[in-house]
Amino acid sequence: MPHPDHALLKELVSLGIVREDTLEPFHPQVRDRSDVSVWRCPASGVLLLDRIDQIGASYYPDQDGLSYWDPAGRAQGLVATREDDLRRATSLTAMVAGKRYVDIGTGLGGVLDLVRPVCASVAAVEPQAEAARMLRGLGYDVHPGTGELAATGQRFDVASLFHVFEHMTGPLKELRTIHALLEEGGRIVVEVPHARDALITQFACMSFRQFTFWSEHLVLHTRASLAAYLQVAGFKDVQVSGVQRYPLANHLFWLSHGGPGGQVRWPELRSGAVEEAYAALLQSADLTDTLVAVGTK
């Protein structure tokens, strides 16, 4: 069973998102630790780790250099994140144009680079010290946490969290802090990995489960659980949509060879029309690999 001092589990239970008495083991370990396992709430479909004490207050600040992304440096790391950065920036541009924008957990700052020209101002939260130092050197206003940013008295029109929310040990507190950072009518965008990812659920691909479950991803959300968090934090008009990051060739390679990178290894199986149709099919079945929630203060 999950650890008795599992604060995140207690939060999920208190919000009515999961039922502790019905939790069932789902996968015996995560990819980087044999002493951390994955559990599932059958009623909600939410997946969570059996413990969160591996992520202490100094875990992210103490990460070594830029090794979290690419030890070769920022430029090389941005090559790897380019496709996601472009997709996210494209979806944000109209929302942030002429606005004050903050990216929570900005990492290498790839999205900031792309939207800064259209924003009134940009700021960031990044707990990893070396990444934050590097971004400050590029002229960005960077803070180690949302609490430190709130202490400056700044207010924003748009806040984003791209694959950050699932790392938080106290997600409700963080959302409430972000809510307070926003002006009335401000928007929040939260992107997370999806608990109902087709490779996890429909295809039950065991090699993918062993690859994707990670000691830093404390919980994988469903549409309902993600929406519930935003609503309890005070956001309204919450809409959650499915996004498919990885194409059909990626899934075919996982199912046939048990490994990642099919979209690179099999370029002959890449087709824009086919990939759009496959993504639409997964969206209609609620089996995408990613969820994006948007809410308003």
The 8-class DSSP code of residue 20 comes to G
Which letter, b or e, does each residue of 181-197 get, where b requires 16 or more Cβ atoms within 10 Å of its Cβ?
Answer: bbeeebbbbbbbbbbbb
Given this model, what pLDDT does residue 41 score?
Answer: 98
* Mean pLDDT to the nearest integer, 272-295: 98
Tell which residue, 190, 184, 187, 209, has the closest CA to residue 198: 209
pLDDT in tens, 166-219: 999 999 999 999 999 999 999 999 999 999 999 999 999 999 999 999 999 999
pLDDT in tens, 103-126: 999 999 999 999 999 999 999 999
Other CB atoms closer than 10 Å to residue 276's CB: what's the count? 12
CA distances from 72 to 32, 63, 78, 114 (A): 22, 15, 11, 21
What share of the chain has pLDDT > 70, as a percent?
Answer: 100
At 297, is the pLDDT very low, low, confident or very high (cuts 50, 70, 90)?
very high
Tell which residue, 264, 164, 254, has the closest CA to residue 210: 254
Looking at the predicted structure, is the pLDDT value of residue 71 above 80? no
Q: In whole angstroms, what separates CA 266 from the centre of its chain?
A: 27
3-state helix, strand, coil in the chain (%, to 5): 40, 20, 40
64-68, 94-98, 99-103: lowest mean pLDDT where?
64-68
Given this model, what pLDDT does residue 104 score?
Answer: 99
- For helices 171-181 and 7-14, the axis angle rounded to 10 degrees is 70
Separation between Cα atoms, residue 251 and residue 247, nearest integer Å: 7
Looking at the predicted structure, is the pLDDT value of residue 40 above 90? yes
Query: Could you tell me how many residues make up the chain?
Result: 297
- 254 CB-contact burial (10 Å; exposed 0-12 / middle 13-18 / buried 19+): buried
Find where tokens 């005070």 sit: 234
At 35, is the pLDDT very low, low, confident or very high (cuts 50, 70, 90)?
very high
Given this model, what pLDDT does residue 2 score?
Answer: 83
Looking at the predicted structure, is the pLDDT value of residue 17 above 90? yes
The whole model's pTM is what?
0.96
pLDDT in tens, 222-264: 999 999 999 999 999 999 999 999 999 999 999 999 999 999 9
137 membership: H or E segment, kind and range = helix 129-137
Separation between Cα atoms, residue 222 and residue 137, nearest integer Å: 38
Here the tokens at position 180 are 């307070």
Separation between Cα atoms, residue 186 and residue 95, nearest integer Å: 10
